[in-house]
Amino acid sequence: MYLTLRISIIFLILMLVWQGIVTLGVPFYLLPAPEQVAAAFVSQFNVILVQAIPTIIETLLGFILGILFGCSAALMIVFFRPLKHWFLPILIISQAIPTFAIAPLLILWFGYGITSKIIVTILMIFFPITSAFYDGLTTVNPGWIHLAKIMNAKKWRLFWYIRIPAALPSLASGIRIAAVIAPIGAIIGEWIGASHGLGYLMLNANARMQIDMMFASLIVIILLALLLYFSVDKILRVFIWW
């Protein structure tokens, strides 16, 4: 209840600031009024809804696969220490290359379909997940590890019962970051090359100077990111209560 109230207050303040800026005489082609954006959203609701479905699918699939690949990579680095010196530079390089630079190549290799958008999303969230989980696995309380070794715990039991549970809060932080980034990855993929999605809709609206439609699509993307973040946060608080 309090969260909903806070979000409503923030939304109201932003709308008032937005309306105040428009009242100063900013041209429509730079910043449409809130009521104009609302009118575009209502009149084009079916179009926005149809285009939002592919973006949601791309976001969710990229988000889930990014978590799986990121966790697997972190476990591999910790389990097989020699891989750390080879794999970490690859991780850093993957983040050093701008997404906009590599996205056209992914479109070329995997086509204009959903696959390339999912891969862009995975690349954007892969590093935060891997880094967060790896830090959690390597910063476990040494006393717990020492006690487990005294009790002759096998390596896999030490990981399963001590290291992984202790690392889950750090992983949860990485997942929360990924939840915000995932929609951005899907939209970037659609901007580079797509025949559907909210990013594709924004590009078409931009070409036709439909600024109100662009803002309506942008608001839907923001709502999608907020919904994904708070849903993930609630799930994580239930399953990782400690």
Residue 190 and residue 53 in contact, taking contact as beta carbons nearer than 8 Å? no
Helix axis angle, 45-79 to 34-43, nearest 10°: 90
Give percent helix, percent strand, percent coil of the chain, each to the nearest 5: 85, 0, 15
Q: What residue segments make up the domains of the chain, in order of their start?
A: 38-239
| The predicted structure's pLDDT at residue 114 | 85
Residue 41: closest CA among 236, 223, 239: 223
pLDDT tens digit sequence for 92-140? 777 777 777 777 787 778 877 888 888 889 988 988 899 899 988 888 7
Phi and psi torsions of 27, nearest 5°: -60, 155
Global confidence as pTM:
0.84
Q: What are the 10-residue block averages of pLDDT along the chain, 242 residues in total?
A: 75 86 80 86 89 92 93 86 74 73 79 84 89 87 76 75 87 93 88 83 86 90 91 91 79
Q: Among the CATH numbers 3.30.980.10, 3.40.50.300, 3.40.50.620, 1.10.3720.10, which is that of 38-239?
A: 1.10.3720.10
